[in-house]
Structure 1
């Protein structure tokens, strides 16, 4: 009989060996009781000192099994090293230390379980070659900040350790200019303001983030409505500029939704459909994601000290959407 638990080092199996199996080779017995682990895998775990009877680690898989409880520690799988892939990139700036990319929607930042390829990291490894290898860790080389897979816009990646450390420090102290353009359902009220509220993972849905009263991470978004669409007294949609003071997971999407004005097309935080004419505009624009674009990224170069600022125009789907909304 086997049960499972989790600890920081991975999965821990507790296996009970009955009197009927005592005297058999322990690797054979454990393989029978934990069928998803092969005998060879168990022998390797025993050799690593990861299988114990009580508090005593087993020294050899050939030992005779004793009746009682055994623990089998199965370490988490090592992250696969991303492979270079020839994915086209729109490069806004590049030097020996860093590279600035205009990321299209649909491109994930780095490999994750279930999507180990086709990411920005894979593209950067191909583009930058060995210069990127290992910077910031094997699984996410060069990555110092992230935007959601379906969010488009400007991102920066490091090519050297010095740049990685410097950029990480700038993001940690929020000494970065980051402006996003969002199209929202209705318009936030007031038309200009600051949304401040801690964000943590939702207790109801672990795939979502939520504003929380206690715990979580401090988050601040400054916003300004640049344009409204539809009746002036009750807009059907709006173009909103959001300036990040902090950068938390899904921050803008969560904060705008908390005002009752989620990003158009947001499949997670949408909380209700927009007006029919807005839905029609979304379909005609071919928008299949949240209408959110990282339009401005500005920072001081972590190595040279030069002030850098990059702007990205609206991608085609959001540009088409704005044109259609302007007719309302």
Structure 2
């Protein structure tokens, strides 16, 4: 069943001024080909300040762009979540692997935030952090603007603790380890750009310990002290132990050039989160065992 479609809105910045309309969309949204963007421009699906424009139109600072995407059928994903903690200000849910948190790419209604909005039409729960689509487990949300501000501040100050379970291959992994490796954007031939291990990127730290070793795999507990995109996947791959089944990151923590957008298949689970309640200051700890269908739960 098709969704309701969506209007994408962009505002031209100083750095984007001077680009043609076609160059802007082809460069910013490489998931569609330049030919596809040209067809949309010529069919008046894209407007500049509310009016149709040609593909060679030179963009100016402050112009408003809108792209009316018609309804489309989204990829099948598991459409459920579990409530693990809730009060007037805070909601903690667990999502399955395969379900995106936010809209993007081919997903609009097949997302965690859309499902939560359906259950809470009177409020707008705001996710304080994200999980990758292939990652299962805990997501912390605020149910009010004051709670959002306080929890977001805790995230910035490193006061929210996030602990994961990760499954990697066999090897001589130290029982306890720390990974300090910067993460930044890297150009990618298919995805446009993607995050990876980058010397001049943003600092990132992950601490890990071995929970259990098996002949063909190792179960790890990993705590992250920064919240860089794909941090655990990148760090473990950089460390020499990429996640089993990870289609994007191999040894060295760099993205594979043939990776396809939205690939899942890796085993990573947000197992525990600790935060201070935005009103009472009470330290709250929520745990979420790996779901039965996950390999991690059997280690």
Q: TM-score, normalised by structure 1?
A: 0.66
Structure number with larger C-alpha Rg:
1
The SS at the match of 1:147 is coil
Shift of 1:191: 2.3
1:155 corresponds in structure 2 to 139
After the TM superposition, which of the residue ranges 106-115 and 181-190 deviates more from structure 2? 181-190
Q: Unaligned 5+ residue runs, structure 1?
A: 1-5, 16-33, 52-68, 81-86, 133-140, 231-235, 273-287
2:13 corresponds in structure 1 to 8
What is the CA RMSD across the aligned residues, in angstroms?
3.3
1:218 corresponds in structure 2 to 203
The SS at the match of 2:146 is helix
2:180 corresponds in structure 1 to 196
1:18 corresponds in structure 2 to none
Hey, what's the Cα distance between the residues in 1 that align with 2:199 and 2:182? 7
Distance 1:187 1:155, change over 3 A: farther
Distance 1:45 1:315, change over 3 A: same
Distance 1:45 1:299, change over 3 A: same
Distance 1:13 1:181, change over 3 A: same
Shift of 1:266: 0.9
2:106 to 102, 106, 114: 114
User: Deviation per CA, 1:119-152, whole angstroms, max 9, x where unpaired?
Assistant: 11111111111211xxxxxxxx612210101100
2:64 to 49, 57, 75: 75
Structure number with the bigger relative contact order (C-alpha 8 A, sep ≥ 6) is: 2
Distance 1:203 1:42, change over 3 A: closer
Answering whether residue 111 of structure 2 is matched by residue 105 of structure 1, we say no
2:165 corresponds in structure 1 to 181
Are 2:46 and 2:67, in contact at CA under 8 Å, matched by a contact in 1? no
Q: Unaligned 5+ residue runs, structure 2?
A: 1-10, 23-39, 70-78, 253-263
Q: TM-score, normalised by structure 2?
A: 0.72
Shift of 1:13: 3.0
Hey, what's the Cα distance between the residues in 2 that align with 1:316 and 1:101? 17
Report the count of equivalent residues. Answer: 245
After the TM superposition, which of the residue ranges 144-153 and 6-15 deviates more from structure 2? 6-15
Distance 1:144 1:78, change over 3 A: farther
Q: Which has the higher helix share?
A: 1
User: Deviation per CA, 1:252-300, whole angstroms, max 9, x where unpaired?
Assistant: 000000111111111111459xxxxxxxxxxxxxxx6211000000111
Hey, what's the Cα distance between the residues in 2 that align with 1:42 and 1:209? 31
Answering whether residue 83 of structure 2 is matched by residue 91 of structure 1, we say yes
Runs of 4+ in 1 over 6 A off after TM superposition: none
Hey, what's the Cα distance between the residues in 1 that align with 2:161 and 2:236? 19
Distance 1:103 1:42, change over 3 A: closer
Distance 1:258 1:39, change over 3 A: closer
Shift of 1:197: 0.9
Shift of 1:317: 2.8
